[in-house]
Structure 1
Amino acid sequence: MGHNWSVVKQLYPPKSKFSVDQIPDLTGKVVIVTGGYVGIGYETVRVLLARGAKVYIASRNLEKAEKAITSLKSETGNEPLFIQLDLADLHSVKNAAEEYLRKENTLDILFNNAGVMMCPKSMLAAQGVDLQFGTNVLGHWYFTELLMPALIAAAETSSDHHARVITTSSSGAYSDTLHFDTFKDGPARKKVSPRQLYFQSKHGNVVIARQVAKRYAEKGIISISLNPGNISTDLQRHTMGDVSKKIGELLILYPTPYGALTQLYAGTMPEAVKHNGEFFIPWARPGKCRPEAYDDGIGEKLWTWCEDTVKELT
């Protein structure tokens, strides 16, 4: 009941005390937003550009990114940059990180924002990992690890001695835990639904974010995961028809700008550095995930699995 009640309460959060107008000037800050050409990612990029940040959109689809870049430049007067990144392919992840590191020495904020949701079970990541786990968890973990030198360099030179990794989870993080035998395709994975695989990946986001905080806090890295709220975005393309999405928008789905609030708070506001390793809930409030997310034994096991999988596949 406790987990379910937490999710229900987050469906109808109190009015936000945080507004994007409170974000400090970000001139001189360099930021990456994965999946930054659509939905919550697009809104996050838009606000960051408006506050003066230099923003890279790291995404899979060049055509969609180019449209978003044109639109964002027109809205903000500032032009985001593009890096090709397919989180479901570890070779692409490595190439994207290397491309960034050729261009920049530091990275102030990494928004691990991209994700896939409840896609057909037949869809796998390039190396045979479940597509949702491969994209949402493993791909982002690897990208973060490869970019860690730039994050640490930013922390060393920043006025507040911090750089941030902000990971977009969801209320789905409350709905399941980790089942290691379902991460790759096989008999155990075939028995569970796309919905369960999605919930597992979102729980994995919280577990990894805590581990990043634990492992890199001494180097000035702030790592926070969050539930952005129930937001109407393209993420529901595999789960909702047009009619059910319209009903959802009337009852529980909020407009996209709301979805960016919590991650923008975590990524930009000075007070957020006090919450390293924590989980934020709508809108821009510290919260708690389910207890398993705080188990260091599980966190270390998942981290080792990620390390071993990357070694095996690259």
Structure 2
Amino acid sequence: MPAFDETATSEQVIEAFASQIKGRTFVITGAGHPSIGSQMAVSIAKGAPAHILIASRTGKKVEPVLAKIAEIDSSIKATFVQVDLTDHESVRRAAKEILAAAPKIDVLINSAGVMAIKDYTLDKQGIELQLSANHVGHFLLTNLLAPALIAAGSEPLGARVVNLTSSGYLASPFRFDDWNYSNGKTYDRWTGYGQAKTANILFTYGLHKRLSSRGVTSTATHPGYNHDTELGNHVTREDYAEIPAIVKRNTGKDWVWESPGTKTFTQIAATSLIAALDPELPAKSPAYLMNSQVHEAAPHATDPESVEKLWKLSEELVGQKFEY
């Protein structure tokens, strides 16, 4: 298999792994344009999948993505399902629609997310918004879609779940004693983001433990930094300057900005596409990928006790147990 690095592009990944796309079904959250999700959807369309289903909040932003898919290959079934991941009723409704449209899901890519929300904000269920949008909504959606993933897991290529995280997870471990920030008293934007991104990795490990025996593997990916998507439109240079001090306070460690500093729009999707397609990855999973390679994640994001504690807390937050 080809060896990719931080310069890898979506086009290179698709060319290498086209055989892993043909005739398969992909579900991607948060793929309105412009986003990492939209770049992945359009890239996957070049490999002749049977079905690309986009679960996203805003239909208007998904329309150009569906149009581009049709332009690339009009034979691909392309479906939009509206979902607000911070509203559990919306997630449950969307899961039913997705299962009806795609009873077998080969690859689920949880790409939707928010970053560095300045003011302490709660979702409909009373959960801090970054934790809600980045983790809890995806935890619920993924588990509700498990029957379709398990159905694909019995196929020769198996099934996969890819959870987009961030190197921002290094800003904070999961705060089990104060995950909702004492009603906002202990909240800051980067600790909130760090906790949510740590949750993405802990969830990846918990999901893999429960479903790998059914042919469903799980990986977490850090895409890298990019300014073409709308994720950080509201974040200023001064906001980013807050990160080192917050990381030091929360973890006792120094923050190091990674290289390369910024990736292009096509490079930003490459690592997650590798996680979704590389045939060698299931044997290495659960895994954390950055710059197209498997890396060892910090212990606070992979600790088995924390993995189980988060799974239990997440079940409590969504009001449903998931046992496999």
Q: TM-score, normalised by structure 1?
A: 0.86
1:79 Cα deviation from its structure 2 partner: 5.7
Give the equivalent residue in structure 1 for 2:138.
Answer: 140
Contact residue 130 and residue 182 of structure 1 kept, 8 A: no
1:190 Cα deviation from its structure 2 partner: 2.6
1:259 Cα deviation from its structure 2 partner: 1.3
Contact residue 14 and residue 44 of structure 2 kept, 8 A: no
Give the equivalent residue in structure 1 for 2:160.
Answer: 164
Is 2:57 aligned against 1:60?
yes
Give the equivalent residue in structure 2 for 1:290.
Answer: 298
Aligned partner (choices 148, 151, 154) of residue 149 of structure 2: 151
Is 2:207 aligned against 1:212?
yes
Give the equivalent residue in structure 1 for 2:249.
Answer: none
Distance 1:76 1:120, change over 3 A: farther
Which residue identity lines up with residue 227 of structure 1 in the other structure?
H
- What SS does structure 2 have at the residue aligned with 1:179? coil
Give the equivalent residue in structure 2 for 1:123.
Answer: 121
Aligned partner (choices 88, 99, 107) of residue 86 of structure 2: 88
Give the equivalent residue in structure 1 for 2:179.
Answer: 183
Which residue identity lines up with residue 37 of structure 1 in the other structure?
G
- What SS does structure 2 have at the residue aligned with 1:80? strand
Give the equivalent residue in structure 2 for 1:253.
Answer: 262
After superposition, give the CA deviation of every residue in 1:159-186 in whole Å (9 maximum; x if it has no partner): 23x1000000011112210113443363
Give the equivalent residue in structure 2 for 1:280.
Answer: 289
Distance 1:51 1:179, change over 3 A: same
After superposition, give the CA deviation of every residue in 1:97-139 in whole Å (9 maximum; x if it has no partner): 1111122221000001110001232432221101100010100
RMSD: 2.1
Contact residue 29 and residue 111 of structure 2 kept, 8 A: yes
Which residue identity lines up with residue 216 of structure 2 in the other structure?
I
1:256 Cα deviation from its structure 2 partner: 1.6
Distance 1:289 1:88, change over 3 A: same
Distance 1:185 1:35, change over 3 A: same
Aligned-partner Cα distance in 2 for 1:297–1:33: 29
Runs of 4+ in 1 over 6 A off after TM superposition: none
Aligned-partner Cα distance in 1 for 2:232–2:165: 15
Aligned partner (choices 13, 16, 19) of residue 13 of structure 2: 19
Contact residue 41 and residue 65 of structure 2 kept, 8 A: no
Identity of aligned residues (%): 29
Give the equivalent residue in structure 1 for 2:246.
Answer: none
Contact residue 54 and residue 81 of structure 2 kept, 8 A: yes
Which residue identity lines up with residue 295 of structure 1 in the other structure?
D
Which residue identity lines up with residue 300 of structure 1 in the other structure?
E
1:275 Cα deviation from its structure 2 partner: 1.7
Give the equivalent residue in structure 2 for 1:47.
Answer: 43
1:306 Cα deviation from its structure 2 partner: 0.7
What count of residue pairs does the alignment treat as equivalent? 289
Distance 1:196 1:211, change over 3 A: same
Give the equivalent residue in structure 1 for 2:188.
Answer: 193
Aligned-partner Cα distance in 2 for 1:71–1:143: 26
Aligned partner (choices 49, 52, 69) of residue 66 of structure 2: 69
> Unpaired runs of 5+ in structure 1?
1-12
1:35 Cα deviation from its structure 2 partner: 0.6
Task: Give the number of the structure whose residues are more often helix, by fraction.
Answer: 1
Aligned-partner Cα distance in 2 for 1:268–1:216: 18
Contact residue 129 and residue 185 of structure 1 kept, 8 A: no
> Unpaired runs of 5+ in structure 2?
241-256
Give the equivalent residue in structure 2 for 1:110.
Answer: 108
Give the equivalent residue in structure 2 for 1:309.
Answer: 317
Aligned-partner Cα distance in 2 for 1:253–1:14: 10
Aligned-partner Cα distance in 2 for 1:150–1:177: 32
After superposition, give the CA deviation of every residue in 1:44-69 in whole Å (9 maximum; x if it has no partner): 00111111121011000111112332
Aligned partner (choices 266, 274, 289) of residue 265 of structure 1: 274
Distance 1:14 1:97, change over 3 A: closer
Which residue identity lines up with residue 129 of structure 1 in the other structure?
I
Q: TM-score, normalised by structure 2?
A: 0.84
1:14 Cα deviation from its structure 2 partner: 4.7
Aligned partner (choices 203, 220, 235) of residue 225 of structure 1: 220
Contact residue 213 and residue 223 of structure 1 kept, 8 A: yes
